Structure 1
Amino acid sequence: MSVEINGKVPDFSASCTGGADFKLSAHAGKNLVIYFYPKDNTPGCTTEGENFRDLHPEFVKAECAVFGVSRDSLKSHENFKAKLEMPFELISDPDEKVCVIFDVMKMKNMYGKQVRGVERSTFVINKKGVLVQEWRGLKVPGHAQAVLDFVRTIGD
């Protein structure tokens, strides 16, 4: 079963960059942006990461933590994070546990073939652990700014 708008997000944990595991319940009392992307070091995912990186100070001002998620390994994430100088952590989900909770695994067309992959998606979880907004199958240009604009509207 996947999460739904205005529903509580089940607690989960996963490996992430920075040497610690991510645990959703450890972030209670904070607004969170969790964005899912297909693959480290690909053009769209690099641009999306740079956009969230460049707006990160504004997310901090809005009292919101940002996390990126893909199926890449922790080593790949550490390299990607360092290369882009990301000020936030990346969650590694090779077994797709987190992807399943958010229902982001989809069949996609790639070079005329059907492949199963991560649908680019972003979720906002409020301080009470409730999913308050989602974007699915999104396009990168302007997206990080749209997420920030939404986050600024969340009250306590």
Structure 2
Amino acid sequence: MPTIGQAAPDFTRPSTGGDTTLSELRGQHVVLYFYPKDSTPGCTTEGSDFRDAYADFQAAGAVVLGVSRDSLASHERFKQKLGFPFELISDEDEALCKLYDVIKMKNMYGRQVMGIERSTFLIDKDGVLRNEWRKVKVAGHCAAVLEAVRAL
């Protein structure tokens, strides 16, 4: 699991824009946000918040990447439906989720299930992990992340 102040581990994963490799994004800050499932209410709101603030993230020198266990086909539909200007990474085998330790036991409708705990990681332009948010509540989260990017 990455540690704040240490280099974020490199990865290459399939995404809506082709394969995404973290090391190829050096020179830009990277907002890597993990969300449970495409087209669900909280995930739609969170993605829409990042979409609506995307120009501000770009102005601050950051790229935004969403990650879930959904398929690329599901991501393509979700991205197109909501007009996301950023890529969505498909992590069907949970390799990236496990690397960032975001797979947790959750309660869903009275049942215990393993799922993605909504989490965001901020990686600076040199590839160093600078901040993390775990157990994210969607309201106000995007603004907090943008403030942290601007502070880098």
* Residue identity matched to 2:13: A
Amino acid at match of 1:24: L
Letter in 2 for 1:75: A
Gapped regions of structure 1 (runs ≥ 5): none
Cross-structure match for 1:81 = 79
Q: Deviation of residue 146 (structure 1)?
A: 0.6
1:115 maps to 113
State the alpha-carbon separation in 2 of the partners of residues 47 and 17 from structure 1: 19
Q: Secondary structure at the match of 1:152?
A: helix
User: Which amino acid in structure 2 is aligned with residue 64 of structure 1?
Assistant: A
Structure 2 CA distance for aligned equivalents of residues 108 and 33 of structure 1: 24
> What's 1:3 paired with?
2
Per the TM alignment, residue 117 of structure 1 is displaced from its structure 2 partner at its CA by 0.1
Distance 1:148 1:23 in 2: 22
- 73-82 or 23-32, larger mean C-alpha shift: 23-32
Q: Percent identity?
A: 59
Cα distance in 1 for partners of 2:9, 2:140 equals: 29
Partner of 2:52: 54
Match for residue 137 of structure 2? 139
2 CA distance for matches of 1:28 and 1:151? 15
Structure 1, 21-30 or 37-46: larger mean CA deviation: 21-30
Matched residues, number? 152
* Correspondences of 1:31-46 after superposition (within 5 Å): 31-46=29-44
- Deviation sequence 1:101-152 (CA, Å, 0-9, x none): 1110000011111100000000000011110000000100010011001100
RMSD between aligned residues: 0.5
Deviation at 1:27, TM superposition (A): 0.6
Q: Which residue of 1 aligns with 2:123?
A: 125
SS at match of 1:123: strand
Provide structure 2 residue ranges, at least 5 long, that are not aligned to the other structure.
none
State how far apart, in whole Å, the 1-side matches of 2:73 and 2:109 are: 28
Deviation at 1:4, TM superposition (A): 1.1
1:14 aligns with 2:13: yes
Q: Distance in 2 between matches of 1:22 and 1:126?
A: 16
